[in-house]
Structure 1
Amino acid sequence: MNTALVVGLPTTVVSAALYGVAPLIQAMAARREEAGTGLGLGLLARLATRPLWLVGLAVEAGSFLLEVYALSVAPVALVAPVMALDMIVFTLLARRLLGEHISRGGWSGVGLMVVGVVLLAYAFQHHAEVGSPAGNDVLLAFLVLGLIFSLLCAFGANLASARQQIAGAALGFGLAAGVSYAIATLATRQIGLAVNERRNGDSTLIDLLSTPTPYLLVLFSVLALGLEQRGLQGRAAVIAFPVTSGVSAFLPVTLGLTLFDEPAPDGPRLIAFVISLVLVAAGIAALGRDRSAANRSIEDEEAPADAPTDETHSGGTHSGGTYPGGDARSGGRHSADTVVGAGANYGSMGGEGGYRRFDGTDEDDEGWPGSASPGGPRLGGSGSVPRGAQGRGPEAGSGDRFGLVRDPLRSAQG
């Protein structure tokens, strides 16, 4: 066994665990804020003053330091896929804190990812060199191409949001955040390699300041955070999070093997490596469904107790749906609105009739559009709710699913 497996792999697992905790904290903080717009940088600025979100950021910072160390002793082709284990930690933590049931598909996803990591360890058992650092010209190319791609995806996501296409908007934010995180990972790899060179006495960390590395890391980390918060607001998280995790996990693997001279496993270990990536990807897809259920539980905690059990909206009818006001851990569920299984409508509005007024009163808002249309899940409209309209319920067709936010802690604090 080599250093990459003995030290790098356990360090990566701990880093991934912390990354799994951070989004849950950040999502709870993000939903207490007003609507995000554009790239989400304004939302990010507001969140930077919120203690709860800063706790999540501190957890993420600790994970980053561990990731730097892992990348100083292990190749990114090993580290990046293992970082996708953050989804397992998030789902298990949501199950513990929110009382959310993990489906058979979710447990299958956990198993697939664990087996994938075991196969990764086998694939890199003998050869796990860290490869060569990227040149400044390559880093500048990442800067330009990454910005163009992320901005185009964010622009498309905002257009999809305005057209009430929640799936398209979530996909756009997820892709943009995933690519931004992937480039930030490659910049982190540069720092890890610098730590390795410093360990060997070949250079100092100060030398990094004369390269694009630290600036690339800061730029794309901030951009990724802002885009991720846009995705975490509302039901976009149920689609955006798996997309973000998948892209940020596998793009660095591809670049590490093709551009940075990281040796690929050979023989049977190459087959194990390919299978491991397939298993991790399948696990991400399977766990994405249970991530959506965990996201739903956060919203269920807000539903008022006196909401009607059979409410017809302009977009569909809730047949027997109940909106409990108690904590989701007490077992309250939406009987007609659970997002589980193939073909489930991620954008189903089953509980959205239970939105409270923004003026803090207990009077329910007017009804929202109901279930998703046959063409796909729907947003409630485009644009955030202006302050002048906060005293009245949203009309049918108004209100951005990425904008209207709620306090997931209200019922727990009551």
Structure 2
Amino acid sequence: MVSSTGTSLLLAVPAAVVGAASMGLASAAQARATKEVAVGKILDPGLLRGLAHRPLWLIGMIATGAGLALQLVALAFAPLLVVQPLLITSLVFAGVISARLEHRPLDGVMVAGSLICIAGLAAFLLVARPSGNADSFTSGTRPLPLAIGLTLLTLVALVVALLARGSARVLGLAVATGALYGVTAGLMKIVAGQARSGLAEPFQNWTLYLVCVVGPLGFLLSQNTFQQGRFLTPALAVITALDPLVGVAIGVWWMGETASSGPGALAGEAIAGAVVIVGIALLSSRASHLDQVQPGPDTAAGLKASKGAA
């Protein structure tokens, strides 16, 4: 007989993986569409107005909706610590789809970097051995330190994005996006738990309304990130790695979920995190190398869009 926990995982894990595939499709489609509109100021809503007329971007929006719905299903049946790391697989889906949309072969080094990132997150999950399935804030936690840390991280990343150029700007945008996405995921876990008590329940709590602010802000930043970088995979690797790590932190610090915290486990988690960083560094260096070798079709597309808007 399958236990209730096993049944929950049978529902949650496929939902999370298919949701990751949907988000990978969404990222690839949206990234391609952002190259077809003029580059504007960071956080300018006009970018979304321009994208709204692009069929490829609308396809990405449909895929985003499907991915978020599946993520909610997964969060309703499994802990945040289980669901969030599975979302890192969207990186591979996005890389493959992006290559197809750009009519170029898959780059072996970028594929290797993506797999390294996924391996690091998978190792983190195995070492952390998450448990618990909280769907509300725990009264005994201390929310302020993490809240302050995430706020500072987001603000510093945005300052870097505003002041820097090139890869540093893309990195700042990606970090801010990943932090906001992770916070959104944590809040969505609360909303999913409230919805299980009744469809009207989320509308009676502040969490849903905060999601409606943080989520769209993170989404607008993601579109800026995709537009500023030539290659999707490096920026998306930062986003999809930081997103679950922030989600894990919220699960532990705010919602009472647990993870292994012994010296050996902490060392293993640190090593797994270092593996993710190595994967991101490999992706970034490869992207820089390819940028120097040839300008690429996305640059030409962006120039055409800028001329058309002038």
Both proteins in one fold, TM over 0.5: yes
1:129 equivalent to 2:128? Answer: no
Q: Which has the larger radius of gyration?
A: 1
Corresponding position of 1:173: 173
Q: Call closer, same or farther: CA 1:33–1:119 in 2, change over 3 Å.
A: closer
User: CA–CA distance in 1 between the matches of 2:123 and 2:104?
Assistant: 29
User: CA–CA distance in 1 between the matches of 2:72 and 2:221?
Assistant: 23
Contact 1:157/1:168, CA 8 A, preserved across alignment: yes
Residue 256 of structure 1 and its aligned partner are, at CA, apart by: 0.9
Residue 48 of structure 1 and its aligned partner are, at CA, apart by: 2.7
Structure 1 unpaired stretches of 5+: 293-338, 361-383, 391-414
Amino acid at match of 1:18: S
Q: Call closer, same or farther: CA 1:359–1:209 in 2, change over 3 Å.
A: closer
Residue 148 of structure 1 and its aligned partner are, at CA, apart by: 6.8
1:22 equivalent to 2:17? Answer: no
Q: 1:282 aligns with which of 275, 293, 296?
A: 275
1:348 equivalent to 2:292? Answer: yes
User: CA–CA distance in 1 between the matches of 2:145 and 2:252?
Assistant: 18
Q: Call closer, same or farther: CA 1:133–1:182 in 2, change over 3 Å.
A: same
Amino acid at match of 1:223: L
Amino acid at match of 2:198: T
Corresponding position of 2:200: 206
Q: Call closer, same or farther: CA 1:274–1:120 in 2, change over 3 Å.
A: farther
| Number of residue-to-residue matches in the alignment | 302
Contact 1:116/1:277, CA 8 A, preserved across alignment: no
Residue 151 of structure 1 and its aligned partner are, at CA, apart by: 5.0
User: CA–CA distance in 1 between the matches of 2:204 and 2:150?
Assistant: 21
Select the structure that is richer in helix: 2
Corresponding position of 2:216: 222
Q: Call closer, same or farther: CA 1:260–1:285 in 2, change over 3 Å.
A: same
Residue 274 of structure 1 and its aligned partner are, at CA, apart by: 6.9
- Aligned ranges 1:131-150 → 2 under 5 Å: 131-134=134-137, 150=154
- Aligned ranges 1:46-125 → 2 under 5 Å: 46-96=50-100, 98-103=103-108, 106-107=111-112, 109-110=114-115, 113=118, 116-117=121-122, 120=125, 124=129
Q: Call closer, same or farther: CA 1:109–1:274 in 2, change over 3 Å.
A: farther
Higher relative contact order (CA 8 A, sep 6+): 2
Corresponding position of 1:256: 251
SS at match of 2:292: coil
Query: Could you give the per-residue CA deviations for residues 290-312 of structure 1, whole angstroms, max 9, x where no partner exists?
Result: 5x6xxxxxxxxxxxxxxxxxxxx
The percentage of counterpart residues that share the same residue type is 23
Structure 2 unpaired stretches of 5+: none
SS at match of 2:229: helix
Q: Call closer, same or farther: CA 1:71–1:157 in 2, change over 3 Å.
A: same
Q: Call closer, same or farther: CA 1:145–1:119 in 2, change over 3 Å.
A: closer
Contact 1:12/1:83, CA 8 A, preserved across alignment: yes
